[in-house]
Amino acid sequence: MYCIECGVKLGEAEKKCPLCNTAVYHPNYVDRPGKSLYPSEKMPKKASRSKALNGAMIILFLIPLFVCFVADLQLDGRLEWSGYVAGALMLSYIAFALPMWFQKPNPVIFVPCNFVATALYLLYINIATGGTWFLSFALPITVGLCMITCTVVTLLYYLRKGRLYIVGGAIMALGAFMLLMEFLMGVTFQLPFIGWSIYPLCVLMLFGGLLIYLAINSSAREIIERKLFF
Ligand SMILES: [Zn+2]
């Protein structure tokens, strides 16, 4: 008898494939005693991310960092553009490589970390370019987006139900956020308030509202689910 899923040879008494956990059913073999044919020492070990790989990732990020600093210094003896590259590299390291250090990276912790790193990077660019847009524009926008995203991530991660409500509510909050964005842009860059934010506001409100309507109306939801297979 062989596993229908992965093809490994099975013992006659096995109820589950030792490799892929597929249930075994054979109408002629009913509860016969026996043992697994697949040698236990050859069972695949649970995948664990090796520390060596994570160390290699750090080196992979450090090499371009070092090359940039050296190249920047070579040009005219001081650091100019390499700070931006360093910031971007660190951002991508925090976003993609840092969670790999953990067996089960918790997005409720890592998502805010990414926003903090982004805010610090924007602050650096603001200072380096002598801008005045960080406090009145970049910071409130980052904080606002961080609050919306973290709320969604936390709710989706810990609640098993109500995903449509959560996503719909977040999309509507994002719509309202557009108004704030236009206001802050106007204040920071002395732009007149022309109301462009009304358009994304309406679209996002409608879309978020539609999701919440689907969350409430189960028969409408079933029709859509059947059509889109999700
Ligand atoms: Zn199998």
DSSP annotation of 42 reads G
Instruction: Give the distance (Å) from ligand 1 centre to CA of residue 11.
Output: 12
At a CB cut-off of 8 Å and minimum separation 6, what does 86 contact?
65, 68, 69
CB burial readout 70-82, b (16+ within 10 A) else e = eebeeeeeeeeeb
Task: Identify whether 80 is part of a domain.
Answer: no
Task: Identify whether 172 is part of a domain.
Answer: yes
What is the value of pTM for the model shown? 0.69
Task: Identify whether 103 is part of a domain.
Answer: no
Task: Identify whether 122 is part of a domain.
Answer: no
**How high is the pLDDT of residue 193?**
82
**How high is the pLDDT of residue 39?**
76
Instruction: Give the distance (Å) from ligand 1 centre to CA of residue 6.
Output: 4
How many whole angstroms separate alpha carbon 184 and alpha carbon 179?
A: 9
How many whole angstroms separate alpha carbon 154 and alpha carbon 105?
A: 13
Domain boundary among 28, 44, 60: 44
Task: Identify whether 199 is part of a domain.
Answer: yes
Instruction: Give the distance (Å) from ligand 1 centre to CA of residue 45.
Output: 15
Task: Identify whether 24 is part of a domain.
Answer: yes
Q: What angle do CA 174, 180, 184 make, to 5 degrees?
A: 135
With a cut of 60, say whether residue 169 has pLDDT above it.
yes
CB-count burial class (<10 Å; 0-12, 13-18, 19+) for 192: exposed
- Domain span at 207: 159-230
Counting the structural domains of the chain, the total is 2
Instruction: Give the distance (Å) from ligand 1 centre to CA of residue 173.
Output: 46
Q: Contact 170/148 with Cβ under 8 angstroms?
A: yes
Name the residue type at position 112: P
**Average pLDDT, rounded, for the chain:** 87
User: Please, which residues have CB less than 5 A from ligand 1, an ion?
Assistant: 3, 5-6, 17, 19-20, 22
Q: How many CA atoms lie within 13 A of 61 on its CB side?
A: 19
Task: Identify whether 76 is part of a domain.
Answer: no
For 80-115, the pLDDT digits (tens) are 788 899 999 999 999 888 888 888 888 899 999 999
With a cut of 70, say whether residue 163 has pLDDT above it.
yes
Q: Contact 89/64 with Cβ under 8 angstroms?
A: yes
pLDDT band (50, 70, 90) for residue 47: low
**How high is the pLDDT of residue 14?**
83
Instruction: Give the distance (Å) from ligand 1 centre to CA of residue 122.
Output: 51
With a cut of 70, say whether residue 170 has pLDDT above it.
yes
Instruction: Give the distance (Å) from ligand 1 centre to CA of residue 2.
Output: 8
Task: Identify whether 38 is part of a domain.
Answer: yes
